[in-house]
A and B are shown apart, each in its own frame.
Chain A
Amino acid sequence: MTNEILQELIGSWFPNPEFDKISEVVAQSEKDEISEESVESPTPINPCLLEFSEEASQFLNITVQPEQFYTLMSQLKTNEQTQFNYLFCLTGVDWGEELGVVYHLESTIHRHIVVVKVKTKDREHPSLDSVYDIWATAEFHEREVFDFFGIKFNNHPNLKRLFLTEDWDGFPLRKDYVDEINMVIK
């Protein structure tokens, strides 16, 4: 399936309620033949709750809010047309202000790939939904992300530190982690 069709399909699962409202407004205003000045839309409003982008990456990127995240993931796995059953890479990323996780998904049936990104602004107590019950591999990978980024995964069955000891202070792969003794900085 090409990226365009995928985008259209996945986008249709999460319609943006505000978009409907605005399009109604737009339709209404067109009817009333009000001049162009009064219709003000400074930012183009996304028709759905997800953000798609293809620039600077070879795959289709989907950015999703933590609230819709779990629903999206289970849809991606179970929907007949997408069937992303292979989670081949789960990466924690520290984007400076936000912490997030990047999921690389592939379908072994349709052989298409998407990248799902989910971010949270809360750096103190970041928490996201676990997808271990959708892809079993996530259990280990989420533990790794928890270990290095401190992102808590809700409903995870065994969320313990994986590589580091239980009493390790801080989360080493965060950008603001400092360890003057063990880290060599150039």
Chain B
Amino acid sequence: MKQTTTIDKGLTEPYQINMGPQHPATHGVLNLLLTIDGEIIKKVEPDLGYIHRSIEKMCERDSYQQIVHLTDRMDYLSSNINNEAVCLTVENALQLEIPERVKVIRTIIGELTRISSHCLWWGVMGMDVGALSTFFYGFRDREMLNDIFEETCGARLTMNYNVPGGLMLDIHPNFVKRVKKFIAHFKTKIPEYDRLLTQNVIFQKRTKGVGVLSKEDAISFGVSGPVARASGYSCDVRKYHPYSALDKVKFNECLKTEGDTFARYQVRIMELWESMSIVEQLIDNIPEGEHRVKTNAVIKLPKGEYYQKVETARGELGVYVISTGTKNPYRLKFRSPGFSNLSVLNHIAVGGKIGDLVATMATLDLVIPDIDR
């Protein structure tokens, strides 16, 4: 009798494995300390900071123009939207009148960035559940966008196209033509995505009912973006706090109520269509005008506090600036979507299998520099 108890004690010892920081499914240097029982996950504890550069501290010593450049390196897949967030904060604080042309171009490029980010996510999502080929299909379409970005501003990933007061350069003469060509191309490709992955029985079995997040939990955990919308929580910043030219376009907020991995997948696919429709509405009538308004060489924000939120491809990015009237912010906080989205992982992954955790993490669409900052 005594012996059996000792054996039982031995069996219930937690089996801990380190998933990451060099693990294919964590998409970067994220370390998850998993406590597992066979295949079943008992606890997920993220260990962060492998790529922490303390961007917030760096912002306190930099001028506002310089801060824009740092934001690229946070969520590098929606770099343009991050830039836009800081620029909008500064412009609102200075109460600058931004030309319509700038607003429209910012919105178009923002939505193209979103498409590009979702393309990459789709490829990686397929790869995480084991369909390796999707990665290349996603990248094929993203490549066209990257070429457009490169022609527009010279960079493919960290774009730095926005400056406080407008855009760094005017758009390239080919821009409109190439964007239209891309939209026409991409419209034929999303059905291909569906045939390859969405309709696959194995994929649906892997994702349906996995990692379910209820609406209440989504709100309580501060989850935003497609992850929250898949749980039926309507939170699109573009709808509730429209910025740039988003108040002039019509689009639907993509909502699902299931809250599982497959719903999150579907929301992102739906967002591809919505983003394309936004671009289509704007691309034909980009107003003429200046691409930049003059600002002082040294930007000093009036004393006060400013908060600006934008919707990146991952969710709600907030920029909170406390200014004391000098050329540097006194305190600048980035409320990054990935950080809050990661915090929900332990809640929704526990009880699932290791394979479920990977699928769930893929649809949370984490970008690690965005979490670590």
* Cβ 8 A contact of A172, one of B57, B320, B333, B339: B57
Not counting A88-B316, A104-B307, a sample of 9 additional A-B residue pairs whose C-beta atoms are within 8 angstroms of each other reads A57-B306, A58-B306, A93-B322, A135-B220, A137-B220, A139-B343, A140-B339, A140-B340, A140-B343
Chain A proximity mask over B329-343: 1 for CB below 8 Å, otherwise 0: 001010100011011
Point out the residue from A56, A88, A164, A183 that lies within 8 Å of B52, measured CB to CB. A164
How close is B323's CB to chain A, nearest CB, in angstroms?
9
> For the complex, is B20 an interface residue (Cβ under 8 Å from A)?
no
Residues of chain A having any CB pair with chain B under 8 Å: 55-59, 61, 85-89, 91, 93-94, 102, 104, 108, 111, 115, 135-137, 139-141, 144, 162-165, 172-173, 183-186
Could you count the A-B residue pairs with CB atoms below 8 Å apart for me: how many are there? 89
Please determine whether B56 and A173 come into contact, CB atoms closer than 8 angstroms. yes
Q: Is the CB of B331 within 8 A of A91?
A: yes
Q: Are A137 and B48 in contact (CB under 8 A)?
A: no
Q: Are B222 and A86 in contact (CB under 8 A)?
A: yes
Residues on B close to A: CB < 8 A? 48-49, 52, 54, 56-57, 61, 217, 219-224, 233-235, 240, 302-307, 309, 316, 318, 320, 322, 331, 333, 335, 339-340, 342-344, 347, 372
Q: CA separation between A89 and B320, bound complex, in Å?
A: 9
One of A86, A93, A136 near B331 (C-beta < 8 A): A93
Structural contact, B222 and A59, CB atoms closer than 8 A: no
Contact indicator A88/B220 (Cβ below 8 Å): no
Query: What residues on B are CB-neighbors of A59 within 8 Å?
Result: 307
Min CB gap B314→A, angstroms: 14
Distance of A62 Cα from B222 Cα, bound (Å) = 21
A136 to B218, CA, bound (A): 9
In contact, B320 and A173 (Cβ under 8 angstroms)? no
Interface contact B316-A173, CB-CB below 8 Å: no
Give min CB distance, B259 to chain A, whole Å.
15
Known: A104-B318, A163-B49, A173-B54. A86 touches B219 (CB 8 A): yes
Can you name the residue of chain B whose Cβ is closest to the Cβ of A56?
A: B304
In the bound complex, residues from chain B placing their C-beta under 8 Å from that of A58 are 306-307
Report which of A87, A102, A141 forms a contact with B320, defined as CB distance below 8 A. Answer: A102
Residues of A within 8 A of B305 (CB): 56-57, 61, 115
Residues of B within 8 A of A55 (CB): 304
Contact of A137 among B57, B235, B309, B343 (CB under 8 A): B343
Instruction: Quote the shortest CB–CB distance from A84 to chain B (angstroms).
Output: 11
User: What are the residues of chain B within 8 A of A102 when measuring CB–CB?
Assistant: 320
> What's the minimum C-beta distance from B175 to chain A, rounded to whole angstroms?
34
The list of the 9 closest CB pairs from A to B, nearest first, reads: A56-B304, A137-B222, A163-B49, A140-B343, A91-B333, A89-B335, A57-B305, A136-B220, A163-B52
Between B56, B224, B307, B316, the greatest number of chain A beta carbons within 10 A of the residue's beta carbon is seen for B307
CA distance in complex: A186, B61 (Å): 7
Known: A139-B343, A172-B57. A89 touches B318 (CB 8 A): yes
Q: Verify B331–A85 contact, CB threshold 8 A.
A: no
B52 A136 Cβ-Cβ under 8 A: no
Q: Within 8 Å CB of B224, what residues of A? A: 88
Distance in angstroms between the alpha carbons of A186 and B57 in the assembled complex: 13
**Complex Cα gap A93–B340 (Å):** 19
Residues of chain B lying within 8 A (CB to CB) of residue A104: 307, 318, 320, 335
Chain A neighbourhood of B347, CB < 8 A: 136
A sample of 8 cross-chain residue pairs with beta-carbon separation below 8 angstroms, ordered by A number, consists of A56-B304, A85-B219, A88-B224, A88-B335, A89-B320, A91-B331, A135-B220, A186-B61
